[in-house]
Amino acid sequence: MGRAIWDYYHDNDPEDLQTETSISELDELPVDYLFRDFEDMIDIEQKALKLSTGKVLDIGAGAGSHALYLQNEMNLDVLALDISPKSVEVCQLRGIKNAVCTNILDFSGETFDTILLLMNGTGIFEGLSKIDTYLQKLGTLLNEGGQILIDSTDILYMFDRDKDGGVYIPAGGYYGELEYVVHYKGESEEPITWLYLDFNTLKNAAVNNGFKVEKVMQDEDSYLAKLTKI
């Protein structure tokens, strides 16, 4: 994804990304979607950006569209964080003043009033077994009175149902734990584990880690949640 972002910014024969999961077929992801303006963002993203206050950490910043809006339009102090060096380079070239290339679990030294995890922000948790690790880490980065704004989608709708409405869910794990693969210019990344969380599962995990949880917005099967430390 970082290579596609870099190619698009530099007009280096960019192509659309292709993504697939362990329960879905190949799907196109236009690379220009990662460069969209605020007006072209979905309602959940717009709501999260409008709720952001103080010093902000944008985790999984990608091409930096969220961070740019917060920095330039809302005049907030923003740090854009991504694991892709090419994505971080483009963030800097687009004018984001503070951008860091690292895994969130390795990041330290600063704390924030708002932590953003958007475009299925629960994905970075990888799987149910690692939720506690990530939530505890995020808690250490949060200022007193700060907030985590995170979105996800309950993907139960993607599974087949019987005539009585029962859902056929594969045994052996939580249905929101998927293998996710990104393809670009004929090459594929190694599959990663990506987590889609229903709201109740997120809420239970967050409460167990010392957070108060509020569902800020629901849009069909997707939602935006706000976590604050108790």
CATH of the domain at 179: 3.40.50.150
221 within some domain: yes
Domain count for the chain, please give it: 1
Containing structural domain, residue 61: 2-155+172-229
pLDDT tens for 33-60 read 999 999 999 999 999 999 999 999 999 9
164 within some domain: no
161 within some domain: no
162 within some domain: no
62 within some domain: yes
pLDDT tens for 195-209 read 999 999 999 999 999
17 within some domain: yes
Longest dimension (CA), the chain: 55
The pLDDT value given to residue 150 = 98
The pLDDT value given to residue 164 = 61
125 within some domain: yes
163 within some domain: no
Segments of the chain with pLDDT less than 70: 160-172
